[in-house]
Structure formats: C-alpha cells, structure tokens
A and B are shown apart, each in its own frame.
Chain A
Amino acid sequence: MGDILAFTISWIVVSVLGEMGVHALFQKGLYYYTATTQAVDGEAAFAFILTILTPVFAFIVVMIIYSMIRFRARDQEIRPSRKQFYNNKAFVSIWITISIVLNLMFFVHPTASAVEQMFNSERARYNSHDLIVNVTARQWQWFFNYPQYNIAQAQDSNGNSILYLPANRTVKFVLRSYDPMHTYDPYIGVVHGFWIPAFGLKQDVIPGETRYLYVHTTKITSFEVNPMVRVQCTEVCGPGHPFMEAPVHIVSSSDFLKFVKQQQQLQAQQS
C-alpha cells in the first residue's frame, strides 16, 4: 500500500509540474509564429492533446523511475522477487478502459471537430469574397497568378515570384503542378508540397490534379518580419527542392491594391 501511495503522490506532483511546463510552452506559442486562423486552430489542437497526454506520459515515466529506484536489487545475489503475481484484474481493466476512452475522446475532439472546422472554412467559398490565387509549382519555382486581377505572374523587380495577400481575408489557393514553359512534356510534373510555415497547414501539389487550400489571414506581416512567412516546398522534388521558396507579404487592403496596380503596370510594360 505504501508504494502505491508514494507512487501516486509522485505521479501527481510530476503531472502538475508537467502541466505547468506545457502551459508555459503554450504561452510562448507552440507553432512559434501564426498568421492564419488555421494555424491558431492547429495550435489549439496540439495544445489540447499535449495537456491530456501529460499525466499519461508522467504516469509511465514516474513508474519507470520509481521502479528503478524503489525495486532495484540491492545486492549481487540473484533471487526471485518476494512478490509474484501474474495479473491484477482491476489495474488492467482500468488501464484498458482509460486508453479506449482517451482515444475515443481524441477522435471526437480535436480530430473530428478540427477537421469539421476545416470544412467550414472551406464553405466560406460560397461567400464569393475570397481572393483566388492560382499557384503553379514547377521544378523548381512557384508561380502566383491572380485571376481576379489579371495578374499572370506576380514578381518583384528581379523577376522572382512573390506572394502578396491582404490581411483578414479568406484566400483560396488553387494548386497545380506542371511546367508552364514545357507544357508539351507530360513526364515533367512531380509532386510538390505547398507550405507556408506561419499558416499552419500544407497541401501536396499533384501533377494532373487540381487541389484547393483555404486560409484566413489574421495579421499584417511579411517574410522580413518573420522568416516563417514564406512559401516553401515540402515534398522532395529533385535537386532544386531546397531552393523552392518564395517570400510572402500580408498587407492591408489598400497596400494590396497598390500591389495589384504595380503588377498590372509591370505586366503591361513586359507585353
């Protein structure tokens, strides 16, 4: 009985300390930098799971350490342990029940509930105010095209692709993988991964398919403010894979319109 009591007390203490540590991590931001509602939702799911699992983790770790200290053999002589038991129905039943209940709960929340939230954010497309950005991935470059504004390829003065988005808008990315410069070669498309670390989600870009990704931007920020605000390819796509990035700028609506004007002018000059 004494061991069970001592173990339980240590377990509770460690769990409480663990929860405090985990909580301190949440305060700092688990995802380090978030710029969309999707990222915030993901972070919340992450935090929820960690919170629940901390006592479970503590249980096993304290159990290992407690047994290591308390039940270690104290002398060289090898003899059977004085306590021998093959089972403990109560303990096993509690263990199994808790693990089933925990998993069912995780499935309902955050798994199903958070996926549901993603569906809902996609339903925002019926709102028709979405900004549509066509994203084309080729080896090894991103192209951003704004069909609503007749921008064929957003670029800076050096001809590098750039992505500008207005803050507090729902953005619909239309993702395709092919090479606009070699459309005649069907073997050239490979899988890329479209990821903006600060946006909290990614989507693979598959040759021969069109995929969508919805985000809702929450703040004005840019690659200069935080390097996590960048487009990054995450699926290995050949030797150029590490270089497949593009800076992202999230700006106010008026700045966004300035960007649009400037791009339209640039395009007019080039054609």
Chain B
Amino acid sequence: MSSVVSDMQGARSAHMKVKRMLPPVVRGLLWALIGFLIVNTLVSEVFDRMPYHPYVTRPSVTLGWVAAVIGWLLGVGAWEGFMKPYFGGTADWVVPNDWRKYFMYSIDHKVIGMQYIFSSLGGFLIAGFAAMLMRLELMKDHMWIFNNPGAYLSTVGIHGTVMMFSVGTVALIGGFGNYIVPLMIGANSTAYPRMSGISQWLVPAGIATVVLSPILGQWTTGWRGYEPLAGQDPAGIVFYYLGVFALTTSSLMVSINLTATILFKRAPGLTWNRIPMYAWGMLTVSLLNLIWLPEIQMTFLMGLLSAIIPLPYFSQLGSPLTYMEMFWLFGHPEVYIIVVPAFALWQELLPVMGQKSLFARQWGIIGLVFVMILSGLVWAHHMFTNMRNSQMLPFSFFTEMISIPTGFSFLVAIGTMWKSNLRLNTPTLFILMSLFNFLIGGVTGVLLADPVVNLQAHDTFFVIAHFHYTIIGGMVFSWFAAFYYWLPKFSGRMYNEFWGKIGAIWVFIGFNGVFFQLFLLGLKGMNRWVPVYPSYLQPMNFEISLFGFLLGLGFVFNFLHIAWMWHKGPVVGNNPWHSKTLEWQTSSPPANTNFDPIPQVIGSFYDYSDSKLAVATPYSDKKS
C-alpha cells in the first residue's frame, strides 16, 4: 500500500506546477452535464425517437443519469487517480495539502472518511429539513404548507430515503469507519484505497438524485418504493431507484473495503481476540451489507425496469406482493445495519470513559454476530398484515428471539459501567442516552413482534415512534457520541464540556418530547403518510411539532458547537481520554502516514487494570 502513497506523493512534487485546471468538483459537475446531454440526446432523439416525444423520456433520463454519474466521478478525479493508472499511465494527480483535498478524489482513508462524514451530515441536514416541513404541515389537520398531498408524500419519501441510505447506513460506516478503523487496527491505509475514493463521490450524487426527483414528477410511495403503486407514479420514482442505487453501491464498496481491511491489514499481534469492538462492529455490519445490498439492488433494478420498459413484474398481472417481500428481506437487516455500529460504539466508549476493563467481551461479539445472522430471518414481521395467520408464528418467533443477542450489548454496557470510574462527559452522556432510547425502541419492538398487537399498530405513528427510537435514539445519539469522542482525534482540539452537555440534554428532551407522544398518537388512530387527518388528533400533533422544531434546533446547535470547536477549541494532547486503542497511540490529528513504524500489539486494548499500553513500538518491519 505505502507504494501508492509514495507514488502519489512523488507525483505531487514532480507535477506540482504542471497544469492548472478547474476545481475538481466543478469539473465533475461539468462532465456530468456533458455526459447527461450527450446520452440523453442520443437516446431520446436518435435510438428511441418517437414522434412528438419529449426531450427527456424515462429511458433517456435513466441512461443519461448513468452517463452523468460516470462523468461526475471521473471529473472529480477518478480519471487521473483511477482510470489512467489503471491503464498503465502515471498518476499525475495533484493533491493539495489543504482544505481543497476534501473536494476531490482522494485515496487517503482519513480524507475519505472525512468526506463521508460531511456527505452524510449534508444528507442529515437536508432530510432533517424535510422532516421539519412535514412536522409543520402536521401542525394543522388540513393542507396548509403543501398544496397537494402528493407533494407531502414526496417529502416523506425524500426524508426517509435520504435518512436511511445516506445517514443511517453511511455516517458510522463510511464516515467514522473509514477514518477510524485503519487507525484502530494499526494500518496505514485501507485495502482498496482507490475504490474507496470513488465510492465516496457516489454519496453526493445519490443524495442529489433523490432530492431532485420531484423535477421528474412526484412520487408517493415513501422510502420503500412500494410496487405496484410505484408503477403508477409519475417519473420521479425513476430518480428514487437511481439515487438509492448510487447510495447502496457506495455502501457496498465501503463494506468490501472495510472487510478486506479488517481481515488483512491488521498490525502484527492484533489477533482475532484482540480486534477492537468498533472494528468488530464494522466487520459484522459489512458482512450484513455484502449479503443484503445486492439483493435490494436487484429489486430496485426490477422496479426500474418496470418503470421504464415497462415490464409488469409487480402489477396485478405479475405478483404485487413479491416486491414487498424482496424489499423487507433487505429492509429488516437494514435496520440492524444501522444499529450494530451503535452497539459497537457503546462497547468501545464505555471502557475508556470508565477506565475499566470491558465486561464479558466475548458475549458482546457473540451478540453482534448473532444479530447479524438472525436479522435475515425476521423480515416478514413487516408484513403481518399481508400474510396468512399460519405464517405469522415463525417470524414472530425469530423476531422475539433477536432481542436476546441484542440484549448482550446491554449486558456488556452495564457490566462495564458497574464499579467503574465513569467520567460523565458529553460522549458518555450521549452513550447513556442512546442506551435508554434504544431500550424504549426495543421494548416497543417486542410489542410489535406480537402479531395481535402488530395488526393494530402497524402503519400507524406507533411504528413511526418505534423506529425513530431505534434509529435516532440508538444510532444518531451514538453518532453524536462518536463526534464528540473523536473530535480531538480529527482536530487535536477539545469541545467545551458545558455546551456539549447542554447540547446532549437539549436533543434528549426534544427527542423524547416528539417520539414518546407519537406512540400515543398512533394508538389513538393516527395512520401514516397523511397530511390530512381527523381533527381530534390535531392538538397532540401541534404540540409534537413544537418539540420537533426544538429537536431540529438541538441538532443544529450540536453541529455548530462541534464545528466551532474544531477550529477554535483548546488544543489537547494526543490521547486526551487515556484510551488504550491504537487510534490514540499516534498524533492527533494523524499525520499523512498514520504509523511510522507500524506498532506491534502485545496486549488487550480493554484492560485498564494498569496503565501499560497494549502496544510495543517501535516494531521492526525486517523481522517478519
């Protein structure tokens, strides 16, 4: 690997003054536009010409989009950084060592991780803004913000899609995973840095595609793209399929890369039973991705084909339920893709913050692995309203059983806290809040696993509350913990403890204020996907919206605090938490080369019985 880096560094010095060109992002946009225009024109005007046809047709926009994405990726730097060297050319790609490196193709896992963090943050803010619009609309029982229900439903769809595919599956995996995992396992790069550089740029492309979908027409299916309804939707649904395809492809590439990195690039001495918990989480979640993402991509491809050709796969002539079944076959593992990294974070942070050995580590790992395995067996609990009664029992059974390995994460967390020397700082607070919120998500999950209860609660705001408790409560709160925890790693600076705690308490109050009431609202008869609802539900919705805005502001407050402290926070040492894991055993922020020399691991990272480090440096490369 280091050959690639030196190759690139050599290229930088040799070609520093060679040529001036457009900023890569601008060039990417230009090439995307050119690609789109050429291919779209060819398809709609030449190959598929029909009298009185519009310039943009479903087939032409699909193929034009493919060309645009390829143009975007190449323009942003994949041309010099990937294609040319692939065909034997020199990598004459100048990577400036300042902020500009974040706006171009890169092969440094730290830069890529940062880019992913920003992309998913962008997705979070956009989709969060959509959520605010939805909550604003729901303050009244009739249409008043949107002027038709289709616009509201498109907003719901954009909110859900962007949140799930660009935040839930990306923020802790593509973002923190890419940045932290190589550091954590004592490597200087990931296994496939060039592919990784490309995969990141699919995220903004995917988000933009989904967000721009209303240009082609409203779509009403929500984030699941349910057929056969999608078959009737105007062409906006095409951009839903394409955008999600880009986002899932990105996640797939991240997973291939992280799996290979964790398997093959560990520092000497980092044996299987010493792999850090967060890396374990990334490994299990990557395996989940590798199993299920291709499945959903194939499903979306079929949906796309029935939208552009059209083929009647899922209409009444085909098999309407097949789409739902294929969707949830992926869709349930998806929610575990989102929370498994959060579990891993609990187990990563609590030993550090309590300066106490990780409790029952093997059970924590067993839990992660069994959650991964079982999550493929429970999908039909999303379809109790669609199946024969006799089919319910096995799916109920597995759904209830999955709470056992899930519980192990709690077992490890509380066992570690017990008798520890717990620093009650902002990351700890966020982790404890995540434990609490996810617990509510879990308890209501047991209720929903029961078919009789499910038949009442399904597709109501009870379910909305349940899954936001698991996703925001579990994953987003842990995401914030990760932000605060690793901020000194990224920047060498520390956040402000007082404002950090205010931020944590703020979002905790806002979050519970919104979503706890949603349980009651659902039981009172509020169904999903409705901008217009019976007036008896209005007072409660009004109040929930107020908490919703409070929550939205709380998120923004935390981000502003982090951004501010990133630049202006007090400088701290390399290892402010006194953590034993490897990412803290190098400088903060890390230099271009993470470890020089590569450390040798000689002990457990989670043994805090003394202050001896788990690594012996320097490690001499020649001996091996």
Residues of A whose CB lies within 8 Å of any CB of B are: 3, 30-32, 38-39, 41-42, 45-46, 49-50, 53, 56-57, 60-61, 63-64, 67-68, 71-73, 78-88, 91-92, 95-96, 99-100, 103, 106-107, 110-112, 114-115, 117-119, 122, 178, 186-191, 193, 195, 197-198, 200-204, 206-208, 227-228, 230, 232-243, 245
Question: Which of B221, B312, B355, B397 lies in contact with A78, CB distance below 8 A?
Answer: B355
What are the residues of chain A within 8 A of B229 when measuring CB–CB? 190-191, 236-238
Question: Which of A82, A95, A235 lies in contact with B421, CB distance below 8 A?
Answer: A82
CB distance from B417 to the nearest CB of A (A): 4
Residues A64 and B536 in contact in the complex (CB < 8 Å), given A80-B356, A207-B316: no
Residues A203 and B439 in contact in the complex (CB < 8 Å), given A39-B456, A45-B450: no
Residues A67 and B392 in contact in the complex (CB < 8 Å), given A235-B459, A236-B226, A241-B530: no
What are the residues of chain B within 8 A of A111 when measuring CB–CB? 393, 396-397, 400, 449-452
A73 lies within 8 A of B424 (CB): yes
Give the distance in Å from the alpha carbon of A95 to the alpha carbon of B458 in the complex.
31
CB distance from B455 to the nearest CB of A (A): 4
Give the distance in Å from the alpha carbon of A227 to the alpha carbon of B233 in the complex.
31
Is B83 among interface residues, defined by CB-CB distance under 8 A? no
A204 lies within 8 A of B432 (CB): no
Is B532 among interface residues, defined by CB-CB distance under 8 A? yes
Residues A64 and B455 in contact in the complex (CB < 8 Å), given A31-B523, A78-B578, A103-B400: no
A189 lies within 8 A of B400 (CB): no
What are the residues of chain B within 8 A of A240 when measuring CB–CB? 149
Residues of B whose CB lies within 8 Å of any CB of A are: 148-150, 153, 218, 220-222, 226, 228-229, 231-233, 312, 315-317, 320-321, 324, 354-361, 363, 385-386, 389, 392-393, 396-397, 400-401, 403-404, 407, 410-411, 414-415, 417-424, 432, 435-436, 439, 443, 446-447, 449-453, 455-456, 458-460, 523-525, 527-534, 536, 577-578, 607-611
CB distance from A37 to the nearest CB of B (A): 12
A95 lies within 8 A of B446 (CB): no
A61 lies within 8 A of B436 (CB): yes
Give the distance in Å from the alpha carbon of A230 to the alpha carbon of B529 in the complex.
17
Give the distance in Å from the alpha carbon of A117 to the alpha carbon of B523 in the complex.
22
B396 lies within 8 A of A234 (CB): no
Residues A115 and B358 in contact in the complex (CB < 8 Å), given A228-B524, A242-B533: no
Question: Which of B450, B459, B529 lies in contact with A110, CB distance below 8 A?
Answer: B450
Question: Which of A85, A187, A190 has most chain B Cβ within 10 Å?
Answer: A190
CB distance from B441 to the nearest CB of A (A): 12
What are the residues of chain B within 8 A of A45 when measuring CB–CB? 450, 452-453
A-B contact pairs, 5 of them (CB 8 A): A45-B452, A100-B404, A201-B455, A204-B385, A239-B148
Question: Which of B315, B420, B529 lies in contact with A67, CB distance below 8 A?
Answer: B420
CB distance from A120 to the nearest CB of B (A): 11
A200 lies within 8 A of B415 (CB): no
B153 lies within 8 A of A71 (CB): no
What are the residues of chain B within 8 A of A79 when measuring CB–CB? 355, 421
What are the residues of chain B within 8 A of A114 when measuring CB–CB? 450-452
Give the distance in Å from the alpha carbon of A232 to the alpha carbon of B450 in the complex.
22
A71 lies within 8 A of B418 (CB): yes
A195 lies within 8 A of B527 (CB): yes
Question: Which of A60, A78, A80, A236 lies in contact with B610, CB distance below 8 A?
Answer: A80
Question: Which of B385, B407, B536 lies in contact with A202, CB distance below 8 A?
Answer: B385
Question: Which of A63, A82, A85, A204 lies in contact with B357, CB distance below 8 A?
Answer: A85
CB distance from A144 to the nearest CB of B (A): 19
Question: Which of A82, A87, A195, A242 lies in contact with B531, CB distance below 8 A?
Answer: A242
Question: Which of B396, B439, B532 lies in contact with A57, CB distance below 8 A?
Answer: B439
What are the residues of chain A within 8 A of B456 when measuring CB–CB? 31, 39, 42, 197, 200-202
Question: Which of A67, A87, A115 lies in contact with B360, CB distance below 8 A?
Answer: A87
CB distance from B438 to the nearest CB of A (A): 10
A206 lies within 8 A of B321 (CB): yes
Residues A202 and B446 in contact in the complex (CB < 8 Å), given A71-B417, A78-B423: no
What are the residues of chain A within 8 A of B397 when measuring CB–CB? 107, 111
CB distance from B402 to the nearest CB of A (A): 9
CB distance from A45 to the nearest CB of B (A): 5
CB distance from B435 to the nearest CB of A (A): 6
Question: Which of A64, A187, A228 lies in contact with B315, CB distance below 8 A?
Answer: A187
Residues A204 and B386 in contact in the complex (CB < 8 Å), given A73-B424, A83-B356: yes
What are the residues of chain A within 8 A of B153 when measuring CB–CB? 236, 239, 241
Question: Which of B153, B312, B420, B453 has most chain A Cβ within 10 Å?
Answer: B453
B417 lies within 8 A of A67 (CB): yes
CB distance from B437 to the nearest CB of A (A): 11
A87 lies within 8 A of B359 (CB): yes
B529 lies within 8 A of A241 (CB): yes
CB distance from A162 to the nearest CB of B (A): 16
What are the residues of chain A within 8 A of B528 when measuring CB–CB? 234, 236
Residues A30 and B523 in contact in the complex (CB < 8 Å), given A53-B446, A86-B358, A239-B153: yes
B452 lies within 8 A of A110 (CB): yes
Give the distance in Å from the alpha carbon of A208 to the alpha carbon of B496 in the complex.
61
B421 lies within 8 A of A186 (CB): no
What are the residues of chain B within 8 A of A71 when measuring CB–CB? 354, 417-422
Give the distance in Å from the alpha carbon of A202 to the alpha carbon of B460 in the complex.
11
What are the residues of chain B within 8 A of A203 when measuring CB–CB? 385, 455
Residues A81 and B355 in contact in the complex (CB < 8 Å), given A87-B360, A92-B363: yes
B404 lies within 8 A of A118 (CB): no
What are the residues of chain B within 8 A of A67 when measuring CB–CB? 414, 417-418, 420, 422
Give the distance in Å from the alpha carbon of A184 to the alpha carbon of B559 in the complex.
55
